[in-house]
Structure 1
Amino acid sequence: MREIAGRLGARHRAGVKYTLATVVGVRGSAPRQAGAAMAVAEDGEAVGSVSGGCVEGTVHELCREVMETGVAVRASFGYSDDTAFAVGLTCGGTIEVFVQPSPSAQVVEAVSGASPVAVAHLLDGSGATLAVRPERVYGTTGLADVDAEVVGQARALLDGGATGIQSVRCRPDMEVFIQSHAPKPTLLVFGAIDHAASVAAIGTFLGFRVTVCDARPAFATEARFPDADEMVADWPHRYLKSTEVDSRTVVVILTHDATFDVPLLEVALRLPVGYVGAMGSRRTHAERLARLREAGLTDEELARLRSPIGLDLGARTPQETAVSIAAEFIAVRHGGTALPLGRLDGPIHHDRTASAAAV
Structure 2
Amino acid sequence: MEEIHRIVETIQQTSLRGVLATIIHVEGSAYRKEGTSMLFLEDGSQIGVLSAGCLEAALAHSVPDILASGTSRRFAFDMQSSNPLSWGEETGCGGVVHVALEPVNDVLAAHLGTLKKYLEVRSEVKLVKRFDADGSVIDYGFLTRDQHPFGEWRGEFPPSLLEWTPPGQSPSSGMKFVAALQSDVFVHTYYPKPRLILFGAGPDARPLAAIAAKTGFSVTVTDWRTDYCERRYFPDAESIIIGFPEETMQLIHVTPDDYAVVMTHNFRRDQQLIRLLSERQLGYLGILGSKTRTERLLRDRPVQMKVHSPVGLAIGAEGPEEIAVSILAEIIQTYRTKRKLSSDSR
- TM-score normalised by length of structure 1: 0.50
Number of positions where the alignment pairs a residue of Structure 1 with one of Structure 2: 220
Secondary structure, counterpart of 1:189 in structure 2: strand
Q: For residues 178 and 32 of structure 1, do their structure 2 counterparts lie closer, same or farther at Cα, with a shift above 3 Å needed?
A: farther
Per the alignment, residue 283 of structure 2 pairs with 274
Per the alignment, residue 316 of structure 1 pairs with 318
TM-superposed CA distance for 1:224, in Å, is 2.1
TM-superposed CA distance for 1:354, in Å, is 2.1
Does 1:256 pair with 2:290? no
Aligned with 1:29 (options 15, 18, 33)? 15
CA distance in 2, matches of 1:267, 1:353: 28
* Structure that is richer in strand per residue: 2
CA distance in 1, matches of 2:315, 2:172: 40
Give, as a single letter, the amino acid of the residue that structure 2 aligns with 1:116.
Answer: E
Per the alignment, residue 199 of structure 1 pairs with 208
TM-superposed CA distance for 1:136, in Å, is 5.9
Per the alignment, residue 146 of structure 1 pairs with none
TM-superposed CA distance for 1:135, in Å, is 2.1
Does 1:135 pair with 2:169? yes
TM-superposed CA distance for 1:258, in Å, is 2.2
Per the alignment, residue 215 of structure 1 pairs with 224
Q: For residues 255 and 124 of structure 1, do their structure 2 counterparts lie closer, same or farther at Cα, with a shift above 3 Å needed?
A: farther
Secondary structure, counterpart of 2:227 in structure 1: coil
Per the alignment, residue 291 of structure 1 pairs with 300
Per the alignment, residue 89 of structure 2 pairs with none
Give, as a single letter, the amino acid of the residue that structure 2 aligns with 1:333.
Answer: Y
Gaps of at least 5 residues in structure 1 are: 1-22, 36-74, 81-86, 89-93, 98-112, 144-173, 337-349
TM-superposed CA distance for 1:31, in Å, is 9.2
TM-superposed CA distance for 1:211, in Å, is 1.5
Identity of aligned pairs, percent?
Answer: 26
- TM-score normalised by length of structure 2: 0.52
Secondary structure, counterpart of 1:266 in structure 2: helix
Higher CA-based Rg: 1
Kept in 2, the 8 Å contact 1:213–1:232? The answer is yes
| CA displacement 1:258-293 (0-9 Å, x = unmatched) | 211111112223322211111011221111111324
Q: For residues 136 and 236 of structure 1, do their structure 2 counterparts lie closer, same or farther at Cα, with a shift above 3 Å needed?
A: same
Q: For residues 264 and 137 of structure 1, do their structure 2 counterparts lie closer, same or farther at Cα, with a shift above 3 Å needed?
A: same
Per the alignment, residue 351 of structure 1 pairs with 340
Gaps of at least 5 residues in structure 2 are: 1-7, 22-63, 72-101, 106-120, 141-160, 178-183
| CA displacement 1:295-337 (0-9 Å, x = unmatched) | xx5xxx1x4211111110100021110111011111222228x
Per the alignment, residue 118 of structure 1 pairs with 126
TM-superposed CA distance for 1:230, in Å, is 2.0
Kept in 1, the 8 Å contact 2:124–2:189? The answer is no
| CA displacement 1:230-266 (0-9 Å, x = unmatched) | 2221113431232123222111111132211111112
TM-superposed CA distance for 1:198, in Å, is 0.8
CA distance in 2, matches of 1:140, 1:233: 43
Q: For residues 221 and 115 of structure 1, do their structure 2 counterparts lie closer, same or farther at Cα, with a shift above 3 Å needed?
A: closer
Instruction: Give structure 1 regions of 4+ aligned residues with deviation exceeding 3 angstroms.
Output: 25-28, 30-35, 75-80, 120-134, 136-143, 174-179
Aligned with 1:247 (options 256, 265, 269)? 256
Give, as a single letter, the amino acid of the residue that structure 2 aligns with 1:202.
Answer: I
